[in-house]
Amino acid sequence: MPYDTRKLSLLVGLATLLLVLVLLYWTRMVLIPVALAILLTFVLDPVVSLLQRPGLPRTPAVILVVVMAFFILGGMGWMVTWQFTTLANELPQYKENLKHKVADLRGLGQGGVIEKVQRALEEVLSQPRQATLPRPGGPPGTEPAQPVPVVLQAPSVFWQLPSLLEPLANAGLVLVLVIFMLLKQRDLRNRLIRLGGFS
């Protein structure tokens, strides 16, 4: 009998874990910005308090700190993007160096498993492709049907719009949450303490 109870409790635990993972997966679009906003609130609150000491009211201090923080984060994002773009443009100059590095890596695998796999792949890829034969059953003396050319067109800008709007929407949500959490920081802290039962 105790064995069945352990099995049941294990099944309940696994089901609960699975349910929690599914809920986290479905709510990740909201939970990630909320977690980022909480983190930024903890980082920016001391700066807001520092600006309040000389007599600046909380609302202008919050707006000033949030604008400065997002300008700094935006500048850092722009710098990283610029560096990646520069690297992508300069990559052809380093082609020979990369070829030497790949050759060195290939030299490490000689005589081992990597070389055997590489030989097998080369043998498979070096086999000549068999020409497609005309289908039997067609009338004699007729030519096989010509394949229809497929024209690929670049996707419209509107198809890429959702992928561009998602990061902007997340950034907007984080911005609004950070401003709200900084303005109501003491009230939120008191509510969390009451929720935890430490009052």
Q: What is the pLDDT of residue 26?
A: 86
Q: How many CB atoms lie within 10 A of CB 37?
A: 20
Q: What is the pLDDT of residue 64?
A: 93
Q: What is the pLDDT of residue 99?
A: 80
Exposed, middle or buried, 182 (CB in 10 Å: 0-12/13-18/19+)?
A: buried
Q: What is the pLDDT of residue 61?
A: 92
Q: What is the pLDDT of residue 128?
A: 63
Token pair of 27, please? 């709510």
Q: How far apart are CA 39 and CA 172, in angstroms?
A: 16
Pure H helices in the chain = 2-26, 28-52, 58-90, 95-108, 113-126, 157-183, 185-196
Q: How far apart are CA 106 and CA 121, in angstroms?
A: 14
Cβ-Cβ contacts under 8 Å for 25 (sequence gap 6 or more): none
Q: What is the pLDDT of residue 129?
A: 58
Q: What is the pLDDT of residue 96?
A: 80
Q: What is the pLDDT of residue 46?
A: 92
Per-residue pLDDT of the chain (199 residues; tens, 9 = 90+): 456 788 888 888 999 999 999 988 888 888 888 999 999 999 999 999 999 998 889 899 999 999 999 899 889 989 999 998 888 888 888 888 878 877 777 666 566 677 777 777 788 777 765 544 555 555 666 666 788 888 877 777 677 777 778 888 888 889 999 999 999 888 888 887 888 775 4
Q: What is the pLDDT of residue 109?
A: 59
Q: What is the pLDDT of residue 67?
A: 92
User: pTM of the prediction?
Assistant: 0.55
For 47-62, the pLDDT digits (tens) are: 999 999 988 898 999 9
